[in-house]
Structure 1
Amino acid sequence: MVELVTMVSTSMVRPKNIDRSVRAKIHLTPHDLDLLYLVYPQRGLLFLKPDPETRIIPRLRASLSTALEIHFPFAGRLVKVDNHEDNTVSFYIDCDGSGAKFVHSKAESVSVNDLLQSNGSVPDFITHFFPANNVESRDALISEPLLALQVTEMKDGVFISFGYNHMMADGSSLWNFFHTLSKICLNGSRSDSDQLIVLKDWFLDGIDYPVHIPVSEMEIRPSRKVSTKERVFHFSKKKISYLKAKANDEIGSTDLKISSLQAVLAYLWLSIMRHSGLNREEGTQCKVAANMRQRLNPPLEKEYFGNVTQLAVATSTVGELLDRGLGWTALQISKAVRSQTNESYKTLAENWVRNVKIPKIGVGSRMADNSLIVASSPFFDVYDHDFGWGKPIAPRAGPGNGIGGLLVMFRGAEEGSIDVHAALNSSLWSDVLMNL
């Protein structure tokens, strides 16, 4: 269905003004560099079509230029330095104002209902609604900007999507940027309260910067094509309350309490394992991206710009998971998340520098086989983005790009609900989507 989407134009949008007094170079931490082969995370929001008099493309382009003055690292470029003295390379972000990619496309025969299918299925054509498919972090060294936006005009709607380099920002930073962008677009200008992002000279003690990476870790290895199936699952407030109560009842008297999100993740992990066809002896993991800003000592501001996440990994065998049930499964996720501390964050970085091994987690990797990677968060208020023609109808995630065990969490439209955009390896999870 490629013909349904027509590319109108692609251009580079630069900030109008660059404040030369701010830091021009951003060094990358081990937690950033570990994502060198990660595909760009992509997210999108669906809106009803605005009044024909609303000139959305020039309006969005102008707003993006202004927003990049505030969130200036998104307009920068990834730079590699060859360290010939020790046969290594190092990286940094050059905040030079080169700009972000802006893509304008049309899908005039596609309706909102075509995109929001009643059973939660994700149509194949949505791939062409995103601007950075199959792009890895390292691709920013050659041809890719650190941020790309795409605006697709539909028959009765507008889809605004973005892809970004995870080495320099995480979901918290991205949605803060998107909120700034929508507010500027709504008001027509930048307000006095829109201050530059919080960007500090913060690095882990005991690590010399820039971090040197052996040239051998930069070797490109062939990737394996993975076919995925995608679907969006909706958990109502009532369903979530039931799962949370059931999980807490099963674990009994304990100092730990299962949260709503942990109960939902445990239910999904169990359900997927139950229908996966895997042997009981096989190992499985649930990897949850934890925001570390408030877990560090001293803590960082919630608005701190950058990539400050760490994967909390809960591990089990398939058999143990199924035998012990919802409460025990949720408890393993809870313990894994609680174990992410200032000490664990620092230790991981120090160990990484001592023995640099960058996981090849790009297109076609087996990173998620037998396991789940949980991205994004229902705490991000994706519905609080009004560009001047109303708030979003629904969020969507971009293609899994070969990561075949990905759960992208979104806040639901109804208060207290959660939507999960699942991309599962179709060969491994052949019956899962029909049985969840």
Structure 2
Amino acid sequence: MGEQVVLISSSIVRPVNKPGSDRTKIHLTPFDLNLLHIGSPQRGLLFPKPNPDFHVISRLKASLSLALEIYFPFAGRLVKVENLEDNTVSFLIDCDGSGARFHHAEAKTISVSDLLQPDGSVPDFMKQLFPADDFKNCDGVTKPLLVLQVTEMKDGIFIGYCYNHLVADGVSMWGFINTWSKICSSGSSSFVHKPIVLKRWFLEGIHYPIHIPVSEAERPRPSRELPITKDRVFHFTKKNISDLKAKANSEVGSSDITISSLQAVTAHMWRSIIRHSGLSGGETQYKVVVDVRQRVNPPLEEDCFGNMIYIQQAIATVEELLNRGLGWAALQISKLVSSQTNENCKKFAEDWVRNVKNLKTGVGSRTVGDFVLVGGSPRFEVYNNDFGWGKPVAVRAGPGNNISGKLVLFPGIDEGSIDVQTSLWSDVLVNLLGDVEFLEHVSIMV
């Protein structure tokens, strides 16, 4: 459809009150620094069009300024410190109130129905609705930690955003969006919100700031040309999920272990994708983003602000995965999740500091196609984000970090359902859409 999104304006929105000389500086942990060269996450919400007298852009900008007063780290900047004594660098977040970038765009020919394809496909022009392309978290030294784009469409509004993973994860980001929407819908500065709680989890024996070799801190060169991925949203109804969960648990056949709905759904995706990835043998990995807030000891507040995730994986041979059934695959996921204890978190952090390396390898090979990577969560509060003119009608992930096998989970718009936005190579997607066993438990009508 060509370049149908036109940028009208771009500005910096700062917190209502600029911080003083005693402003907060946040040291970065191994969980943060492990994501230094990963692309910044991109998400977006699709809304119906408000009445003309709502004054969308001015209301959104004014309320954003108030929200940044509460979630002040998003208005800060990443600082890179050179340690000349040992030829290393360190990073920290300086909450200096520099602000977030706000793009206002128009797409007068794009309608809501253009985005919500009946078969769940994600149109190529969707990437124009997001405010950043190829942002890496290390770019926060020169770019804002939060960039937003509000696009006024023919009959809708799309709010897309890109945030730096060094300062926050999905829990913190959706908490911010929820607060921003409440401030905007209230239409006043009288909105009361408790102060955010910054994460306070720093291992004893690790000296902060952490020193990183200069060679590892440099932004990696662009990768060679990679196969093009296509995105598709697969919708799992409440019944789809119930059937998969019952099937997985019946195959496991254990009274001691109960496969969860999420484990059953992602096991189904893992097996189905690998079945069509052209792997004749070898190993495959199921990689999942783990929130460690309630896994460390003492546990942190469930909504504490910061980045408290890391990626862990279950490994199986391709033969095992495809031949041993849904229950076996779900059981491997269940074991992986239950094994993430305080000791695992400590070991990950300690090992990372001792061996600061491989920062540029990302989440795995971008060309082999032998894994799935599961991010997002159906537990995130998505559809209650009403900015004052109605609730969202859809949520989407942006084009950042697109690798074949990436799965981003969202709650479905119907209670108890799950949407999985899936990035796959075109040939894998075509084969998956012709897989009767896969489609038996999935609805591609969204």
Q: In structure 2, what is the Cα distance between the partners aligned to 1:364 and 1:316? A: 16
Read off the aligned partner of 1:104 and give its amino acid letter. Answer: H
Read off the aligned partner of 2:276 and give its amino acid letter. Answer: H
Q: 1:306 to 1:120 in 2, by over 3 A?
A: same
**Aligned residues between the structures:** 434
Which residue of the partner structure matches residue 224 of structure 2?
224
Q: In structure 2, what is the Cα distance between the partners aligned to 1:335 and 1:21? A: 48
Cα offset, 1:19, TM superposition: 4.7
Q: In structure 2, what is the Cα distance between the partners aligned to 1:434 and 1:98? A: 50
Cα offset, 1:361, TM superposition: 4.9
Cα offset, 1:72, TM superposition: 0.1
Q: Note if 1:376 corresponds to 2:376.
A: yes
Read off the aligned partner of 1:194 and give its amino acid letter. Answer: H
Tell me the secondary structure at the aligned position of residue 331 of structure 2: helix
Read off the aligned partner of 1:242 and give its amino acid letter. Answer: D
Q: 1:399 to 1:313 in 2, by over 3 A?
A: same
RMSD (Å), alpha carbons: 1.8
**What are the residue-to-residue correspondences of 1:316-335 with 2, within 5 Å?**
316-335=316-335
| TM-score, normalization by structure 1 | 0.96
Q: 1:118 to 1:177 in 2, by over 3 A?
A: same
- Post-superposition Cα deviations, 1:23-55, rounded to whole Å, max 9, x if no partner, equal 520000011001011101011110000011110
Which residue of the partner structure matches residue 138 of structure 1?
138
Read off the aligned partner of 1:349 and give its amino acid letter. Answer: A
Range that drifts further, 14-23 or 73-82: 14-23
Which residue of the partner structure matches residue 206 of structure 1?
205
Which residue of the partner structure matches residue 247 of structure 1?
248
**What are the residue-to-residue correspondences of 1:29-428 with 2, within 5 Å?**
29-142=29-142, 144-191=143-190, 193-219=192-218, 220-226=220-226, 227-279=228-280, 281-361=281-361, 366=366, 369-426=369-426
Tell me the secondary structure at the aligned position of residue 62 of structure 2: helix
Cα offset, 1:311, TM superposition: 1.7
Q: Is the 8 A contact 1:276 1:429 kept in 2?
A: no
- Post-superposition Cα deviations, 1:159-178, rounded to whole Å, max 9, x if no partner, equal 01111011110000000000
Unaligned runs of 5+ in 1: none
Q: 1:393 to 1:352 in 2, by over 3 A?
A: same
Cα offset, 1:430, TM superposition: 5.5
Tell me the secondary structure at the aligned position of residue 93 of structure 1: strand
Cα offset, 1:423, TM superposition: 0.9
- Post-superposition Cα deviations, 1:382-421, rounded to whole Å, max 9, x if no partner, equal 0010000110001000014442221000000111000011
Q: 1:367 to 1:61 in 2, by over 3 A?
A: farther
Unaligned runs of 5+ in 2: 439-446
| TM-score, normalization by structure 2 | 0.93
Q: In structure 2, what is the Cα distance between the partners aligned to 1:368 and 1:127? A: 24
Q: 1:116 to 1:364 in 2, by over 3 A?
A: farther
Read off the aligned partner of 2:178 and give its amino acid letter. Answer: H
Q: 1:254 to 1:407 in 2, by over 3 A?
A: same
Read off the aligned partner of 2:45 and give its amino acid letter. Answer: L
Q: In structure 2, what is the Cα distance between the partners aligned to 1:364 and 1:12? A: 35
Read off the aligned partner of 1:341 and give its amino acid letter. Answer: T
- Post-superposition Cα deviations, 1:80-122, rounded to whole Å, max 9, x if no partner, equal 0111111111000000000001011111111111000000000
Tell me the secondary structure at the aligned position of residue 431 of structure 1: helix
Q: In structure 1, what is the Cα distance between the partners aligned to 2:434 and 2:15? A: 47
Cα offset, 1:190, TM superposition: 4.0
Q: In structure 1, what is the Cα distance between the partners aligned to 2:5 and 2:329? A: 42
Q: 1:326 to 1:75 in 2, by over 3 A?
A: same
Q: In structure 1, what is the Cα distance between the partners aligned to 2:224 and 2:362? A: 10
Tell me the secondary structure at the aligned position of residue 62 of structure 1: helix
